[in-house]
Amino acid sequence: MAYPKFGMGFWGWLGLVPLLLALYGRSPKYGFYLSFICGFIFFTLVFRWTFEIPRYNWIHHVILGFYLGLYFGLFGLAFNFITKRCGIVTGLISAPFLWVSLEYIRSNISFLSLPWNLLAHTQYRYPLLIQFASFTGAYGISFLMVLVNASLTLVVLLFLAEFRSVDIRGISKRAVCCVVLVTAGLTGLVILYGHATITTPLEGKELKMSVLQGNIDREKKGNPQEHAEFIMQKYKDLTKQASKDHPTLIVWPEASTPGFVLKNLALRKQIAALTNETQSYFLIGSSEYPKFIRQQSPGKKQFGNTAILFSPSGKILGQYLKIHLVPFGEEIPYKRIIPWPHFIVPEDKKSFEIAGKEHTIFHIKDIKFGAVICWEVVFPQLIRKFVNAGAQCMINLTNEGWFGDSSAPYQMAAIVAFRAVENRVPFARAANTGISCFIDRYGRITGKVVQNNKDTFVAGYLTQAIKVSNERTFYTRYGDVFIWVCISISMGFLLAAFIFKNGPLNKAAP
């Protein structure tokens, strides 16, 4: 309930308390099984939108839930092991370190990397609470939330002990008070820093930009050549409407053109004529074929998923080729090593996209910006590389129409808010079916394409002047220093639990 679409972020500060209470006094094996079941249920529900992907079925979903549920299971195993050997107070103190360490591993494990729906992402609506991510990344907010959950668990255990319904040997009121005070102090500091940050006026050069939302349905996206005239007319109309606001840059979504611009001279001339007419720069998403393709002839040449910058005169100024491809949708991981079964890689799927290698920085006059395509925005390291290369703002071209009228675009927008805060750069999103929006460097959504109170599956455009940033945060410069400290401390807790049993960490542990 804490995640989009529901968006009841306050539950994130309480949601782990029942699990931590249920783990109390149990064996490490029990901790693993119970936490795994909890994780399996959570991930299968929060990622239920994946059923909208062509060919995705229950077998894939069970595999997804099983794999991601293991991270919850490992948390329960480690937490209960430390608790059994060193006491519940020590176990609960270790909980935030263990949790964020496992979030980081889940986010950075080769082609299985999925930094999506971290605990922190529930807080995107509360800019006051997330500003500290400029030091720690999203993991720092997850850490604080687990710490609050752990402190509340200690308080509940003390309360239950008053009715003698639990045995709390090893828990002293002094220890509980210390943990609660430290938690309150850290939370207070995060809030104070957040207040000081978001009350600082935004400064910097302005880039006036329009984002287009064409709302081209999946059937037409799946057959772009057949519907080429309709698709181009839709974007021509939106472009002309947006041009009345006199934007410097007009952004089309991912793979918005019905053909590959660099290979289709007629298509390229249409776009050049539009840039001449509007006297704006264009950033256009282009791909030769749709992302989740159903069939390709064996001899079909592979192309990439690109973003192309046009000048007002129609000249191509630069191109970005998508770096982080979607496993099994745009590429097959380790295809020469692993014989993937047919229910994962169908035999008729022959063509895949080519990954880029260059973190392209586009220039409009004296403003520099980067562009990422679709889910690339969920990877914090990738955005850091663009900002360290000179990007003063970022643009996300995407097409989330493949996921239907689901929570996927809302979850994605929540993640983008953290990328903005981590690097103190504004973001613009141009999405085929939504959510197309602007997000300032404090992670606040400052405007969305909306029609009839709907922000998805509607056509429209939005123009804003964003203030670009030259700021380089601690997180931009140094990356995941915080998380490596947490991993080291987690290893320390586990090592101490191996060495000591009812030892110096908690002599009164039951």
Where is average pLDDT lowest: 1-10, 174-183, 335-344?
A: 335-344
Q: Which fold has domain 206-468?
A: Nitrilase/N-carbamoyl-D-aminoacid amidohydrolase (3.60.110)
Share of the chain above pLDDT 90, in %: 76
Q: Parallel, antiparallel, or unpaired for β 367-373 and 362-364?
A: antiparallel
Q: State mean pLDDT over 220-241.
A: 91
Q: How confident is the model at residue 354 (pLDDT cuts 50, 70, 90)?
A: confident
**What value does the mean pLDDT of the chain take?**
91
Tens-place pLDDT, residues 435-444: 999 999 999 9
Q: State mean pLDDT over 413-432.
A: 98
pLDDT of 339 reads 86
Q: State mean pLDDT over 419-446.
A: 97
Q: How confident is the model at residue 348 (pLDDT cuts 50, 70, 90)?
A: low
Residues 6+ apart with CB under 8 A from 442: 127, 131, 197, 198, 202, 420, 421
The gap from C-alpha 291 to its chain's centroid, in whole angstroms, comes to 19
Q: What angle do CA 323, 213, 61 make, to 5 degrees?
A: 55
Contact (Cβ atoms closer than 8 angstroms) between residue 252 and residue 212: yes
143/102 Cα distance (integer angstroms): 11
Neighbouring CB atoms inside 10 A of 402's CB total: 23
Is residue 167 pLDDT above 80, yes or no?
Answer: no
Q: How confident is the model at residue 293 (pLDDT cuts 50, 70, 90)?
A: very low
Is residue 301 pLDDT above 60, yes or no?
Answer: no
Is residue 457 pLDDT above 50, yes or no?
Answer: yes
Is residue 90 pLDDT above 60, yes or no?
Answer: yes
Q: State mean pLDDT over 140-165.
A: 90
pLDDT of 504 reads 40
Is residue 69 pLDDT above 80, yes or no?
Answer: yes
183/342 Cα distance (integer angstroms): 50
Sheet with 460-467, strands from edge to edge, namely 316-321, 306-310, 281-286, 249-251, 206-213, 460-467
Q: Phi first, then psi: what are they for 502, rounded to 5°?
A: 55, 35
Q: State mean pLDDT over 127-142.
A: 98
Is residue 213 pLDDT above 60, yes or no?
Answer: yes
Tens-place pLDDT, residues 387-421: 999 999 999 999 998 898 999 999 999 999 999 99
Q: How confident is the model at residue 170 (pLDDT cuts 50, 70, 90)?
A: low
Domain extent listing, the chain: 9-200+477-499, 206-468
Q: How confident is the model at residue 139 (pLDDT cuts 50, 70, 90)?
A: very high
| Residue scoring higher pLDDT (510 or 216) | 216
Tens-place pLDDT, residues 253-276: 999 999 888 888 899 999 999 999
Where is average pLDDT lowest: 372-381, 480-489, 497-506?
A: 497-506
